[in-house]
Amino acid sequence: MFSAIADRYDLMNAIMTGGRDRDWRRRVVDLCHPEPGQRILDLGTGTGELALTFGRAAPGLDIWASDVSMEMMSLAQAKPGAAPIRFFQADALRLPLQDNHFDVVVSAFLMRNLPDPAAAVQEQVRLLKPGGRFVFLEIVPPEFTWLGSAYKFFMFSVVPRLGRLLSGSATAYSYLPSSTQVYESPFEMLSLLREAGLRQTAFATCMANTISIHHGRKPTLADEH
């Protein structure tokens, strides 16, 4: 599904968010406090925008980026600044990577697409070094307010039509609002982070509480004492 809309994915993101998705990615980077030499993993990288944001923000990072869609990653690899990034194809629930390997694990608009968010969190925490940071950006179910009603109208009525017009696929952009409706609430996702053993967990919302950014830190041995 995502492969079919790969060449219009960035354009649709920009239109749907009014270009604010770039600001949200920068907030993810800021929460990670990246330092030269650190190893970063961007899961569900898609067209590579979050990985590239890290590359622009902090020189000297060892950035890895993974997705199931080779078509999406091919577009990412062709972008300016992508050459140093290590792209690889993998399932986010079964990553062929060793434990305690990354200083930072991040994603943008990935978690609600996975069939088992709890398992996804545990798998990503497995990859983190002690003291490593886990941050993800996601669309969340709208609240029951007039703004939430307006948001639902936009997502269910406007977005599929835009998707059909600009990408030729209404299916993918009908999936977007329906997947958001069944995704866990920000508080439920926060509980999953804590159950996976993360410390200093929190989340922030933006765009009238329709976007969340969750974060936490993997404990060190010193934290256990």
pLDDT value, residue 166: 63
Query: Per mean pLDDT, which range of 96-110, 186-200, 207-221 is the poorest?
Result: 207-221
State percent of the chain over pLDDT 70: 79
Q: Is 210 within a domain?
A: yes
Domain with residue 110: its CATH number is 3.40.50.150
Domain around 199: 21-140+185-224
Q: Is 94 within a domain?
A: yes
What band does 13 get if pLDDT is binned at 50, 70 and 90? confident
Average pLDDT score, the chain: 87
Residue 36 CA to residue 25 CA, distance in Å, equals: 19
Bridge partners of residue 91, in order along the sequence: 94
What's the number of domains the chain is made of?
1
Q: Is 11 within a domain?
A: no
Q: Is 55 within a domain?
A: yes
Q: Which residue has the higher pLDDT, 172 or 16?
A: 16
Q: Is 27 within a domain?
A: yes
pLDDT value, residue 209: 84
Residue 97 CA to residue 212 CA, distance in Å, equals: 27
Helices (H) and strands (E) in the chain — how many of each? Answer: 9, 7
pLDDT value, residue 189: 96
pTM of the model: 0.88
Express each pLDDT in 58-108 by its tens digit: 999 999 999 999 999 999 999 999 999 999 999 999 999 999 999 999 999
Tell me the average pLDDT across 148-169: 66
pLDDT value, residue 147: 62
Q: Is the pLDDT of residue 146 over 60?
A: no
Q: Is 155 within a domain?
A: no
Tokens of 148: 């939430």
Query: Per mean pLDDT, which range of 15-19, 101-105, 144-148, 220-224 is the poorest?
Result: 144-148
Q: Is the pLDDT of residue 52 over 70?
A: yes
Residue 152 CA to residue 209 CA, distance in Å, equals: 13
Q: Is 67 within a domain?
A: yes
3-state secondary structure of 15: helix
